[in-house]
Structure 1
Amino acid sequence: MEIEINEELRAYIDPLTADEYAALEKSLLAEGCRDALVLWGNVLVDGHNRYGICKKHGIEFRTVQNSTFRSMDDVRLWMIDNHLGRRSISDFQRGVLALRKKEILEARVAANPSDAASVAPGPDQAPAAPSDSGQPAARAAQPLATRQAVAKAARLSPATVSQIEKIQKAAAPELVAAVRSGTISISAAAAVASLPAQEQVAAVAEGKEGLRRTARQLREQKAKLRVPDGAAAEGGVQDAQGDLPPESTDVDELQRLVRALRAENAELKKRVANLAVALKEARSGKE
């Protein structure tokens, strides 16, 4: 059988890091391919990395058919649950996968409301083949109607899921890459994502310390904007949680703060450079 590689499926899950790929290759060379590759007809569903390594080194491998898939969405749900069962993926990856699962299930129910009770293959039909990580395949998908349900599926807190949603909606690609690589935490990335895209990119260009500094400054400014306790009784404006003034004011203030801090940092760097030149000239004069 000629195995077919679907590029959309291959790219659906974040690729292994260079170290993870090297470790898998070393394991396959030493022990062979012990876990079967999962196919849907001719299409490879699970085992893309193992398949590539086995083909490269001429290592024998087995395949197993999953005949329970009825559509590409079934395949995607199976892949998501399979990877959510892994221990090695990051919290950000868990949140992204759980949110993808929620979107697929919502779309399926919206397309066919009468099918809401059976949005995925039943537990008895779930495939048992392991993934690249060697972990058992996850069982069937269940509807994720609330953020709490998404958080439970991802083994994260609802607050973290909310931050990941914000990153997905508002973060520039450079900021997303930074949080995926671990350069910046999820909470810090969510704070930086409140900035315009150009300012996000500028913060990423400053590296890990620059991102952390920007996130810290934004949090401090947000804390300053909180309405003092008792303000409501004096006619102050509070939101439903007694937390922040209107969002537009919050964002405007944060953006003004960042611009002011960047200008201040630039001026300080200029002064330091001038002092260094002056000091060098003074030393040259004495000589």
Structure 2
Amino acid sequence: MQIQINDMLRAYIEPLTEAEHEALERSLLAEGCRDALVLWGDVLVDGHNRYAICQQHGIPFKVVQNERFQSMEDVMLWMIDNHLGRRSVSDFQRGVLALRKKDILAKRIEEDAARIKAEDAAITPPDSDIDAAAVPKVRTSREDIARAARLSSNTISQIEKIQKTATPELVEAVRTGTISINAAATVATLPAEEQVNAVAGGKKSLQQAAKEVREQRAASRPVKPAKPAPWEDGGEPPSQPDQPLTEVEHLRAEVAELKAKNAALRAENAELRERIDQLVDAS
């Protein structure tokens, strides 16, 4: 059989890094190709890297047919589930795969609903409602997708943001682990040119860019009014010192005040983050 390579399927899963490819090549040369390649007809579904290495070095391999595939979408869903179960897949890759699965399932729901509506229209008035029980129940909520990827709903939201607004350079940086998902989602809010410049500057530049965005957000939030001093509510004001404060004492007082404001801002920031997570989970 002449095995066919579908370029879309070959590119559907994130490629191996150079180190991963070298490790796989060493393993195949030392132990042979122990796992069979998965085919759909004559199309290669799983084992593109193993197939290429085996062809290069003349290593024998086995193939197995998957008879359950009915469409290209079935193939893609199988590939996604197969990779989600692997330990070597990073959090970002798992999130991307889970979101791809969500898109495929959501599309199927729409197609099934349209098909049922068309079938009903042939025997019932056009204005009648679609039988909800007839539409397959498929879990596509953010919580379900997060559970499938073994990630939090907040992380899934951050990956969605990265996919929508991040430049290819920033996506590659988070894919290779140069920057965390959380920080990448923050940097992705910057204009494209600034994202590219941050990536070009390396890991420290990316971290600094994320820090500056967070600081700007914190500075733009309104500060809660300070609680009135006891004497402003009718109490007795503190006794005034006989001697004016020295410069050192003034500075110490300012430092103490700034520390108090900083603590209040941190508490407010934590509260807002918790509220955001709750809103995201509820959406």
1:29 deviates by 1.1
- Among 185, 203, 211, the alignment partner of 1:208 is 203
Q: Using the alignment, how far apart are the partners of 1:73 and 1:103 within structure 2?
A: 11
Count of equivalent residues: 210
Q: After superposition, what is the alpha-carbon deviation per residue over 1:205-257, rounded to whole angstroms, capped at 9, x for unaligned? A: 211111100101111221223344579xxxxxxxxxx959xxxxxxxxxxxxx
* Structure-1 residue corresponding to 2:28: 28
Matched ranges for 1:1-287 at <5 A: 1-113=1-113, 114=116, 116-117=135-136, 143-229=138-224, 243=272
Q: Using the alignment, how far apart are the partners of 1:116 and 1:88 within structure 2?
A: 36
1:117 deviates by 2.4
Percent identity at matched positions? Answer: 64
1:27 deviates by 1.1
Change in 2 beyond 3 A, CA 1:227/1:60:
same
Q: Which amino acid aligns with 1:51?
A: Y
Q: Using the alignment, how far apart are the partners of 2:106 and 2:135 within structure 1?
A: 9
Residue 188 of structure 2 contacts residue 195 of structure 2 at CA under 8 Å; is this kept in 1? Answer: yes
Q: Which amino acid aligns with 2:166?
A: A
Residue 36 of structure 1 contacts residue 61 of structure 1 at CA under 8 Å; is this kept in 2? Answer: yes
Q: Give the SS at the match of 2:73.
A: helix
**Structure of larger gyration radius:** 2
1:59 deviates by 1.0
> Which has the larger displacement, 143-152 or 82-91?
143-152
* Structure-1 residue corresponding to 2:260: none
Q: Which amino acid aligns with 1:216?
A: K
1:87 deviates by 0.4
Q: Please report the RMSD computed on the Cα atoms of aligned residues, expressed in angstroms.
A: 1.8
Q: Using the alignment, how far apart are the partners of 1:10 and 1:78 within structure 2?
A: 14
* Structure-2 residue corresponding to 1:270: none
Runs of at least 5 residues in structure 1 that lack an aligned partner in the other structure = 119-142, 232-241, 245-287
Q: After superposition, what is the alpha-carbon deviation per residue over 1:103-162, rounded to whole angstroms, capped at 9, x for unaligned? A: 0000111111257427xxxxxxxxxxxxxxxxxxxxxxxx33211111101101111111
Q: Using the alignment, how far apart are the partners of 1:78 and 1:97 within structure 2?
A: 11
What TM-score results when the alignment is normalised by the length of structure 1? Answer: 0.70
Change in 2 beyond 3 A, CA 1:91/1:116:
farther
Q: Using the alignment, how far apart are the partners of 1:59 and 1:48 within structure 2?
A: 14
1:199 deviates by 1.3
Q: Give the SS at the match of 2:64.
A: strand
Q: Give the SS at the match of 1:14.
A: coil
Q: After superposition, what is the alpha-carbon deviation per residue over 1:158-216, rounded to whole angstroms, capped at 9, x for unaligned? A: 11111000000000111111111111111111001111111111111211111100101
What TM-score results when the alignment is normalised by the length of structure 2? Answer: 0.71
Residue 105 of structure 2 contacts residue 140 of structure 2 at CA under 8 Å; is this kept in 1? Answer: no
Q: After superposition, what is the alpha-carbon deviation per residue over 1:27-79, rounded to whole angstroms, capped at 9, x for unaligned? A: 11111111110000000000111111111111111110011111100000000
Residue 159 of structure 2 contacts residue 185 of structure 2 at CA under 8 Å; is this kept in 1? Answer: yes
